[in-house]
Amino acid sequence: MGQTTPAWASEARWKKIAIWVTAGSFVLLVFLTFDTLSKVSVGGERVRAYSVINKEIDYRYDEKQKRFAPVIGKDAPLFGQALSEEEAEKLVMLGKKTTQAKNCMNCHTLLGNGAYYAPDLTKAWLDPGWIDAANRENLMLAFLKDPAGNARSFGSGRRMPNLGITDEEAHGVVAFLKWMSAIDTNGFPNNFKTLNTKE
Amino acid sequence: MIEPVALQDFFITFFSAALIILSGAGYAGLYAWAKLRGNPRLLLWAYACYAVLAGATFLLARATHLNGQWQVLVGLMLTGYLLVPLGIWKLCVASHGDENPPSPFL
Amino acid sequence: MNSIVTALPGKIASVFTRLDSPYLNGGQQLAVKYFSVATVLFFAQLLFGLLAAIQFVAPGFLFGWLDFSVNRMVHINAMVVWLLYGFIGSVYWFLEEESGTEIAGLKLGNIAFYVLTGAVTIVVLVYLLIQTGPGKDSTIWFINEGREYIEAPRWADFGIVAVMLVFFYNVAGTFMKGRWSGISGVLTLDLIALAGLYCAGMFYLTNITADQFWWWWVIHLWVEATWEVLVGCIMAWSLMHLIGARRKIVQTWLYIEVALMFGSGILGLGHHYFWIGTPDYWFSIGGFFSALEPIPLVAMVVHSVYDAGVHQFKSRNHPALAWIIAHTFGNFLGAGVWGFMHTLPQINLYTHGTQWSASHGHLAFFGAYATINIAFFYMAVQKWRGNVWMGGELPGNGWKWKWAMALLNIGVLGMTVALLIAGYEQSFIERAVEGSTWSGYFSAQNHPWFQQAMHWRLLFGLITIAGLVLLIWDLMTIGKGETRPALQLSEA
C-alpha cells in the first residue's frame, strides 16, 4: 500500500503545502491589515477627522482620479456651531452608537453593507432629497425623531418606524451621517448627484 | 485604477462572467470524463468548452476594461482554468494510485 | 412559584433526554440535541424570512410590531446559529469514532449545550420583544449590537466564546486522549481560527471604516474560509462513512482542499474592501483572488467525475448522498457562478449593496452549508433508528425525502433567480442611471421588474417552507419500523 503514490501527490506533501499556503496567506493578510488600518485612521486623507463636520462637504467627479471623491469646502458648522475635535468625536460617537442601537443596518446599507429594504446611507447627508443645504439639518432632525409622520416613501409605501430616537441622538446621527459622507469610498456610489449639484 | 463597466455592457458582463465559470466547469468535467473513458471525441468537446471560456474571458475583459495591470487577471484566468483541471486530474490518478484501475470502462 | 422555577431545568433536560437512543454513543446523544435545536432554528430562519418577504410586497404588514429590521435580523441570525449548531453537532457525532475513545469532559459539553441554547433563546426574545435601545453602550451590551450577522449583544458574545472553549476542550481533549488523524488535526486548528476570528467582531469602534474592516474579518473569514474547511472535515468523515471512501485518499484531498480554499479565500477578503474607505490596492487583491476562488470548485468537478467513474456508488444512505450531490451543485452555482458574476470591482461598483448580494447569499448559504447539515441529519437519524436500511426501496418509494428535497431546491433556486432579476434592475436603474440617490433607490424599488420579482420571491419562499415542513416530517418518521439493516460497506 502506498508505494504507488508518487511523493508529489502524497498526503505528507499536501499537508506541508496546506500549512505553508495558509500561513503565507495569513501573514500577508496581517501585513496588509496593518497597512490598511494606518491608512484609514481618523484624521487621514481617506477617513477625515470628526471635526470635518464643521466644514462644507460635497461629492464630485475627480478628473485626476477618474472617479467620484469627497470635496471638503469652506466652514459650514453643523447646527451652526463649530465644535472642537473632542466635541465632534463625542457627537459622532453618539450617532454611531445610535445607528447600532436602532439596528439601522437591518433595513439600510451603510457604505453599501447591510440590508436592502431602505436606501443606502453612505451619502445620505448629500442626498438631493433634502432639497437644499439651508433646510437639510432641520428636515433630517424632524425625520429621525418622527420618521413615520414625516415619511419619505417615494411612492413605495415603505415607512421608517418610530424608533424612539431622542433629540440628542438625532443630532448625533446627523453628525455621524455628515462625517461618513466625507469618507473616501473609492468612487462608491458612482455618478451620485448631490443636493449642491442638483441644478 | 479601474474603469467601471458602461451601462450598455452590464448584461454582457454578468453573462460572460457566468459563462466563464460554467464553461470552466464544463471543460474540467468533460476533460476528466474523456480521460476516464479514453475517448478523444469527448476531449474535443472539452476543448470546445475551453474555447467558449476563452471567448467569454475576452468579452468580460473588454466590458470591464481589464487593461494595464488587469491583463494579469486575464492571463491568470486563461492559463489557470486551462491547467488546473489537468493538474487535478493527475492528482486524482496519482492519489488514488494504489486503488483499482482508474477506469471501469477501460 | 419557586418550585416551578427550580424544576424548570430538569423539565427542559427531560425533553431533550427523550431524544436519546440506545444505538448512540455519548457524543452522538449530544449531537442529536444540537441537531434538534438546529432544525427548530432552521424553521425560525424561514419563518422570519417569510415575514420579511411579505413586507417587501405589503409594506404595512406588521408595521410597528415586527418591523422589517427585526424580521431580517432574526432571519439571518437564526441561519448563522442553526448552521453552527449543525456543524457542532456533526463534530460531536464523529468525535468518538474518529478518536477511538470516549469524549473528554462530555458532561461539561452537555452543560454548554444547555447554556448556549438558553442564551440563544434569551437573545431572540430580546430581539423580538425589546428590539432597540438608546444609543448607549448598554444597548450594545444587552439588547443588540446592530452589526449585520453579529447582532448578538456583547454579553452573549462572551457566552458564545465560553461555550466554544468548552467545545474546543471536548474536541482537542478527546483527540489528545485517543488518537490523532489528518481530519482531527485540520479540524482542531480550524476551530482555533474560527473562535479566534469571532473575537475580531467583539469591540466597538466609531470609525466605521475600521469597524467594517474587522467586521468582514469575522463574516468573510468564517463563511469563505474557516466554515468551508470545517465542512470539508465533516464531508471527509461523511464520505468514509457513507460510501466507504478510503482514509488516506480522503485526507490527502482534505489537505488539497485546505490549500486551495485558504490560498484563494483568505486574501479573497479583499473583494469586501472595495468601497468602505479602504485603500484602492484592494481592487487588485480582491479582483485577483476572486478570480481564483472558483478554482477549488473546478477541482471538485474533476474529482467528482473521477470518483463517479471509478466507484459504482454504493451508498448506505440515499437521502444523505442525494443531499451531498445537491451540495456540489448548489455550492458551484451559488458560490462560484453567482459569486463571480458581480465580484470584479468594475461591475461591483453597481451591484454592491443591491439584491445581487441577497441573490448570491441565498443560493450560496443554502448550497454550501444548509445541504451538508441536512445530509448529516439523515446520517444521524439512520443510526439513531438503529443503523437501519436507508438505500432504495424505502416505504412509499421514499416520496417524502424526495419531495422535500425537490421543494427546498426549487424554492431556493426560484428565490435566487427572482432576487437576481431584482438586483439586475436595481443596479441598472438605481445605481447606473440615477446615481444611487434616495429617489433613484425608490424608483428602482417601484419598478415593475422589482415588484414582480418580490412576488415571485415570496411564492418560492412558500415553496421552500413547504419543503422544510416535509423534511422535518420525514426526519421524524424515516426508518420507523424498518427491519432491514443498513448496507455494509467493505471499505469502511
Where a domain ends, among C313, C342, C360? C313
| Cross-chain residue pair A5–B94, CB shorter than 8 Å | yes
- The average confidence (pLDDT) of chain C is 94
Report the residue from C132, C210, C267 with minimal CB separation from A37. Answer: C210
* Overall average pLDDT of the C330-335 stretch: 94
Q: How many domains does chain A have?
A: 2
| Lowest-confidence segment of A92-106, B60-74, C146-160, C303-317 by average pLDDT | C303-317
Asked if the model's pLDDT at residue C371 lies above 60, the reply is yes
The answer to whether residues C93 and C130 belong to one domain is yes
Q: How far apart are CA B4 and CA B18, in angstroms?
A: 18
Is C169 contained in some domain?
Answer: no
pLDDT number for residue C114? 96
C323 lies in the same domain as C427: yes
Q: CB pairs below 8 Å between B and C: how many?
A: 135
User: Does the residue C321 lie in any domain?
Assistant: yes
Q: What is the pLDDT of residue C11?
A: 84
pLDDT at residue C1, as a whole number: 62
C249 to B5: CB separation less than 8 angstroms, yes or no: no
Reported as a single tens digit per residue, the pLDDT across A134-191 is 999 999 999 999 999 998 999 999 999 999 999 999 999 999 999 999 999 999 999 9
End-of-domain residue from the set C279, C313, C347: C313
Q: Under 8 Å CB-to-CB from C309, ≥6 apart: which residues?
A: B32, B33, B36, B37, B102, B103, B104, B105
| C346 interfaces chain B, CB cutoff of 8 Å | yes
Domain identity same for C144 and C87? yes
Q: Any CB–CB contact under 8 A between B11 and chain A? A: no
> What residue spans of B1-106 are helical by DSSP H?
10-37, 40-63, 71-95
Q: Do C309 and B104 touch (CB under 8 A)?
A: yes
Structurally, chain C folds into a number of domains equal to 3
Nearest CA in chain A to C136: A97
CA–CA dist A42, A5 (Å, integer): 56
Minimal C-alpha gap between B32 and chain A (Å): 17
pLDDT band for position B102 (cuts 50, 70, 90): very low
Judge whether A7 is closer than 8 Å to chain B, CB to CB.
no
Contact A36 C278 (CB under 8 A): yes
Predicted local distance difference test score (pLDDT) of residue C61: 97
Give the CATH number, domain containing residue A138: 1.10.760
For chain C, what percent of residues have pLDDT higher than 70? 99
In a domain, C166, yes or no: no
| pLDDT score recorded for residue A5 | 84
**pLDDT reading at A4 higher than 80:** no
What pLDDT, on a 0 to 100 scale, did the predictor assign at position B98? 56
Q: What is the model's pLDDT at position C4?
A: 76
- Give the mean model confidence (pLDDT) for residues C319-332: 94
The helix-helix angle for C68-99 and C26-57 (nearest 10°) equals: 160
Assign B44 a pLDDT band (cuts: 50, 70, 90).
very high
Task: Find the mean pLDDT for residues C301-315.
Answer: 81
Lowest mean pLDDT among B101-105, C214-218, C343-347: B101-105
Q: Supply the CATH number for residue C385's domain.
A: 1.20.210.10
CB contact residues (below 8 A), chain A span 108-167, against chain B? none
Q: Among partner residues A4, A186, A190, which is closest to B98 by beta-carbon distance?
A: A4
Q: What is the pLDDT of residue C37?
A: 98
CB contact under 8 A, C424 and B103: no
Based on the domain organization, do A27 and A83 belong to the same domain? Answer: no
CA distances from A109 to A76, A91, A163, C146 (A): 27, 21, 17, 12
Q: Chain A contact for C350, CB < 8 A?
A: yes
Contact C147, C215 (CB under 8 A): yes
Given B65, B81, B99, which is nearest C346 (Cβ)?
Answer: B65
pLDDT at C491: 46
Looking at the structure, tell me whether residues A15 and A77 fall in a common domain.
no
C59 neighbourhood in chain A, CB within 8 Å: 156-159
3-state secondary structure of C62: coil
In 3D space, the residue among A187, B59, B10 whose CA is nearest the CA of residue C427 turns out to be B10
CB A75 within 8 A of CB A36: no
Closest partner residue to A5 (CB to CB) among B4, B90, B97 is B97
Q: Are A90 and A161 in the same domain?
A: yes
> What b/e readout covers C383-400, taking b as 16+ CB neighbours within 10 angstroms?
bbbeebbbbeebeeebeb
Residue C263 in any domain: the answer is yes
Find the CB nearest A5 among B3, B4, B95: B95
DSSP structural state of residue C276: S
Neighbours of A167 (CB within 10 A): 10
Q: Residue C40: which H helix or E strand, with range?
A: helix C26-57
Range of the domain at C442: 315-492
pLDDT for B19: 97
Domain boundary among C127, C160, C193: C160
pLDDT greater than 60 at residue C103: yes
pLDDT, residue C404, reads 98
Same domain (yes/no): A28, A87 = no
Cβ partners under 8 Å of residue C86, min gap 6: C34, C35, C38, C369, C372, C373, C376, C377
User: C151-208: per-residue pLDDT in tens?
Assistant: 999 999 999 999 999 999 999 999 999 999 999 999 999 999 999 999 999 999 999 9
User: pTM of the entire structure?
Assistant: 0.95
Please indicate, yes or no, if residue A2 is contained in any of the structural domains: no
Nearest to B92 among C283, C291, C306 (CB): C306
Phi first, then psi: what are they for C232, rounded to 5°? -60, -45
- What are the φ/ψ torsions at residue A42 (nearest 5 degrees)? -65, 130
Q: Tell me whether residues A1 and B98 touch, CB distance under 8 A.
A: yes
Rounded mean pLDDT of A94-115? 97
Contact between chains at A9 and B3 (C-beta distance less than 8 A): no
User: How many angstroms separate the CA atoms of C356 and C457, rounded?
Assistant: 13
Same domain, C330 and C279: no
- Residue C492 pLDDT > 50, yes or no? no
C317: helix, coil or strand?
Answer: strand
The Cα C286–Cα B3 span in angstroms is 15
Confidence of residue B103 (pLDDT cuts 50, 70, 90): very low
The string of pLDDT tens digits covering residues A32-73 is: 999 999 999 999 999 999 999 999 999 999 999 999 999 999
- Select the residue from C346, C356, C421 to test the B interface by mutation, using most B Cβ atoms within 10 A: C346
The DSSP element (H or E) to which C115 belongs, if any, is: helix C106-129
Query: What is the distance between the alpha carbons of residues A37 and A46, in angstroms, rounded to a whole number?
Result: 11
Whether the pLDDT of residue A1 is over 70: the answer is no
Cβ pair C266:A162 closer than 8 A: no
C196 and C98 co-located in one domain = no
CB contact residues (below 8 A), chain A span 54-73, against chain B? 66
Give the neighbours of chain B: at least 3 Cβ pairs within 8 Å: A, C
Residues A119 and A30 in one domain: no
Q: Choose from B5, B7, B92, B98 for mutation: most chain A CBs within 10 A.
A: B98
pLDDT at C249 over 80: yes
Work out the average pLDDT over C460-473: 98
| C339 and C226 inside one domain | no
- Domain of A79 in residue numbering reads as 50-180
Between CA C293 and CA C285 the distance in angstroms is 12
Alpha helices per DSSP H over C143-280? 154-177, 182-198, 208-221, 227-243, 247-268
Question: Which residue, chain included where needed, has cell 439586475?
Answer: C424
Check CB contact under 8 Å for A185 and C68. Answer: no
pLDDT number for residue C315 = 83
Question: Is the same domain home to A59 and A150?
Answer: yes
**Res C469 pLDDT > 60:** yes
Euclidean distance between CA atoms A179 and A53, whole angstroms? 6
Q: Which of A21, A31, A103 is the best residue to mutate to test the C interface, defined by the most C CB atoms within 10 Å of its own CB?
A: A103
Q: Which three cell numbers stand for residue A5?
A: 503514490
What is the rounded CA–CA span in Å between residue C283 and residue C270? 7
> What share of chain B in percent tops pLDDT 70?
91
Asked if the structure places residue C173 within a domain, the reply is no
Both A57 and A137 in one domain: the answer is yes
CA distance C123 to C130: 10
Backbone φ and ψ of C486, nearest 5°: -65, 155
Pairing of strands A113-114, A109-110: antiparallel
Instruction: State the SS3 of chain A.
Output: CCCCCCHHHCHHHHHHHHHHHHHHHHHHHHHHHHHHHHHCCCCCCCCCCHHHHHEEEEEEEECCCCEEEEEEEEECCHHHCCCCHHHHHHHHHHHHHHHHHCCHHHCCEECCEECCCCCECCCHHHCHHHCCHHHHHHHHHHHHHCCCCCCCCCCCCCCCCCCCCCHHHHHHHHHHHHHHCCCCCCCCCCCCCCCCCCC
> Do C132 and C139 contact (CB within 8 A), yes or no?
yes
pLDDT of residue A2: 44
C-alpha to C-alpha distance for C420 and C413, rounded to whole angstroms:
10
**Is 90 exceeded by the pLDDT of residue C314?**
no
Judge if C155 and C293 occupy the same domain. no
Q: Is a pLDDT exceeding 60 seen at residue C102?
A: yes
Instruction: Using CB atoms, pick whichever of C210, C357, C435 lies closest to residue A192.
Output: C435
Alpha-carbon distance C244 to C246, whole Å?
A: 6
